[in-house]
Amino acid sequence: MAVAIRQAYSEDIPELVEMINGFAARNLMLPRTPEAVMKTLPDWLVAVERDESGAELLLGCGSLVALTPELAEVRSLAVHERGQGKGVGSLVVENLVALAKAREFSQICALTLREEFFQRLGFEIVDRWSISPKLWQECIYCPKFHRCDEVAVIKHLTVRSREEAAAGRPAAANPLLKWQAWQPLKLAYSYKPIHLDEQ
């Protein structure tokens, strides 16, 4: 059987959501609803295994989410147990990177518990506080927000010219926040209100 990557169809949603929410129940990712997936269906890719008759078995999935006009995020990357050890996760990420390039993003990021996996695919580790759009779009609703153990990784999708590299200039506008800008966000994150009954 061969593994293929394609855009998700509406018929994939029940199995896709069941797989993601199985990982979410183990605090490995955030849950998704069928309605949320349906609204963003063009942004989802699935990995399927096809037999000689053309029948498909869902092995994994992932979605591409625009955070800014320059920065996209790999989100809801999941590989079913039956797809483990077949390179499914790498195939999904590589195809999401290709999709991000086709949509003219200059960078793609992810929050992950397996940073080595992404580093093998050309991502580099960055401070997760520098990815501010991600923090305020979704992370603040996560039950792990105040004890997050995920690592932020990013990959640059544009190639710098020799002149830009020599001058130390980025290839495109950098959507990541500079150190001075994200320090107040980090302070707000570490703030824990004192309740009267705790005094």
Q: Tell me the C-alpha to C-alpha distance, in Å, between residue 145 and each of 59, 128, 190.
A: 29, 12, 10
Domain locations in the chain as residue ranges? 2-190
Query: pLDDT: is 14 or 184 the higher one?
Result: 14
**Percent over 90 (pLDDT), the chain:** 51
Judge whether 171 and 106 are in contact, CB under 8 Å: yes
* CATH number belonging to the domain at 2-190, selected among 3.30.360.10, 3.40.640.10, 3.40.630.30, 3.40.50.410: 3.40.630.30
User: pLDDT grade, residue 98 (50/70/90)?
Assistant: very high
Q: Is the pLDDT of residue 120 over 70?
A: yes
Instruction: Determine the average pLDDT of the residues in 162-185.
Output: 47
Please, what is the average pLDDT of the chain? 80
d(CA 182, CA 83): 38
What is the C-alpha to C-alpha distance for residues 132 and 129, in angstroms, rounded to an integer? Answer: 6
Q: pLDDT class for 60, splitting at 50, 70, 90?
A: very high
* pLDDT over threshold 50, residue 180: no
pLDDT at 174 over 60: no
Mean pLDDT for 130-153 is 64
Which CA distances in Å does 62 have to 49, 80, 91, 111, 158?
16, 12, 10, 13, 22
In this structure, the chain runs to a length of 199
Give the mean pLDDT of 98-115: 93
Q: What is the DSSP letter of 99?
A: H
29 pLDDT band, cuts 50/70/90, is confident
Least confident of 56-60, 72-76, 80-84, 127-131: 127-131
pLDDT digits (tens, 9 = 90+) for 150-162: 788 999 998 643 4
CB neighbours of 113 closer than 8 A, spacing ≥ 6?
28, 149, 150, 151
